[in-house]
Amino acid sequence: MTKKIDSSPLLIDDYNYGLPDERIAKYPLAERDQSKLLVYRQGKISEDVFIHAADYLPENTLLVYNNTKVIHARILFQKVTGAQIEVFCLEPVAPADYALSLGTTNGCVWKCIIGNLKKWKQGPLTKSIVVNQYSFELTASLLTSEGNAQHISFSWNNPHISFAEILEQSGEIPIPPYLRRKAEESDKTTYQTVYSKIKGSVAAPTAGLHFTDKVMRSLKKKHIQTAELTLHIGAGTFQPVKSTDVADHQMHTELFVVSRTTIENLLHRLGSIIAVGTTTVRTLESLYYIGLQIIQEKAVDKGYFFVSQWEPYQQKSDISAEASLLAVIDYLKIHNLDAVLARTQIIIQPGYQFKIIEGMFTNFHQPKSTLLLLVSAFVGENWKRIYDYALHHDFRFLSYGDSSLLLK
């Protein structure tokens, strides 16, 4: 249940703009680092090509990116009647750990969205699959409902094959619904970042899609340091704000992991941290509130934390980012942990006070979305100038579109 943060409404209609369908990039450019780059700094807007991104990063920048990898989360089953049922895997239930669930060879349960659920009245669905020259049957069984999702039990009669291999072979890459097309073979490559490695997302951290090996080399040449974290992006990232007042919007929750090494890097580079993508921004800013929970002795489960939607707005803190990160590091050392494991529901909207980041790379987002609210929280009303510029200078929008670098 959401909770209003004050009496003054934040109207989502104030974060609307006209986005013609032809401005939505249906496919990426052949060379992803040739995307356009809008640069916003000191209130001024300029543009370049993404291959030159390193030229706009201040010296001593620590660039932090999300290394999550998109799984082939859509599985199509066909009933004997001919009806096609789509099972869209959202997140694991049993085992609840992503790595364990994807690595299991004896069955698992996932929270899923079912396409054509009315046609799946009873009984399991089966699908013949061939993986590594092994032929076997994959079975999906309905268990319980959770909101508009279902818990689905998957089982298969081959102990040599993992669920990750099954998805890789028989699943489809879940490209965004606003592309209004079916996934193609090319999407398996183009809808992943070059540094993706930890499987679990059902959507790509799209700000990272512009990075190439050439760009990474240019960062190294300029002595730009990088750090990584993992946030597994859920389908809720595409959920529009349907309520008139943003305070009535229920934000989705996502799992993230940040290693102690990365947190130590953040501590040493405070004031120079630039995030690649809104998922990285949400993770880094959530870290501050985890440190606050530790300092205020509100952390109860060893090594597991949760940042609620309105937590940043319900308490005003004068605790510094340095003190917060130190608290997290000390907590990990005391409990002999290598990383923070947490879920965040944080919503970053106008009025939010950024604690960790000094800038971000991000694409151009949908009207009336929580992602646009996040951008507005960072640049204020200037988001309108930025988006007007992009619309009038032939920038491409959304997941496969062009990029922006927003600096304080």
Give residue-wise pLDDT tens across range 80-122.
888 899 999 999 999 999 999 999 999 999 999 999 999 998 8
Number of structural domains found in the chain: 2
Last residue of a domain, one of 171, 199, 233: 171
Q: What is the mean pLDDT of residues 367-371?
A: 96
Residue 3 lies in a domain: no
* Same-domain pairing of 139 and 248: no
Q: What is the mean pLDDT of residues 290-308?
A: 84
Residue 2 lies in a domain: no
* Same-domain pairing of 105 and 44: no
Provide long-range contacts, Cβ within 8 A and 24+ apart, for 117-120.
Answer: 117/85, 117/150, 119/79, 119/81, 119/83, 119/85, 120/79, 120/83, 120/85
At residue 3, the pLDDT reads: 54
CA distance 75 to 190: 20
The pTM is what? 0.94
The tens digit of pLDDT for each residue in 376-407 reads 999 999 999 999 999 999 999 999 999 999 99
* Same-domain pairing of 58 and 150: no
Give the H/E segment covering residue 374. helix 370-379
Residue type at 347 in one-letter notation: I
Q: What is the mean pLDDT of residues 356-369?
A: 97
How many CB atoms sit inside 10 A of residue 261's CB? 12
* Same-domain pairing of 207 and 243: yes
Residue 376 lies in a domain: yes
Residue 184 lies in a domain: no
The tens digit of pLDDT for each residue in 154-189 reads 999 999 999 999 999 999 999 998 999 999 999 999
Looking at the predicted structure, is the pLDDT value of residue 7 above 60? no
Residue 271 lies in a domain: yes
Provide long-range contacts, Cβ within 8 A and 24+ apart, for 19-22.
Answer: 19/366, 19/367, 19/391, 19/397
* Same-domain pairing of 209 and 350: yes
At residue 1, the pLDDT reads: 44
In the structure, how many helices (H) and strands (E) does the chain have?
A: 10, 18
Task: Enumerate residues 6+ apart whose C-beta is below 8 A from 195.
Answer: 65, 67, 208, 211, 216, 228
The tens digit of pLDDT for each residue in 26-70 reads 999 999 999 999 999 999 999 999 999 999 999 899 999 999 999
Looking at the predicted structure, is the pLDDT value of residue 343 above 60? yes
* Same-domain pairing of 47 and 104: no
* Same-domain pairing of 395 and 271: yes
pLDDT band (50, 70, 90) for residue 5: low
Residue 5 lies in a domain: no
Query: Residue 88's domain spans which residues?
Result: 74-171
* Same-domain pairing of 45 and 119: no
Pick from 178-182, 211-215, 223-227: least confident: 178-182
**CATH code (residue 31):** 3.40.1780.10
* Same-domain pairing of 161 and 286: no
Residue 177 lies in a domain: no
Last residue of a domain, one of 139, 171, 203: 171
pLDDT band (50, 70, 90) for residue 303: low
At residue 121, the pLDDT reads: 80
* Same-domain pairing of 122 and 58: no
Residue 7 lies in a domain: no
* Same-domain pairing of 263 and 211: yes
At residue 302, the pLDDT reads: 64
Last residue of a domain, one of 128, 144, 171: 171
* Same-domain pairing of 324 and 401: yes
Whether residue 354 contacts residue 285, with contact meaning beta carbons closer than 8 Å, is answered with: yes
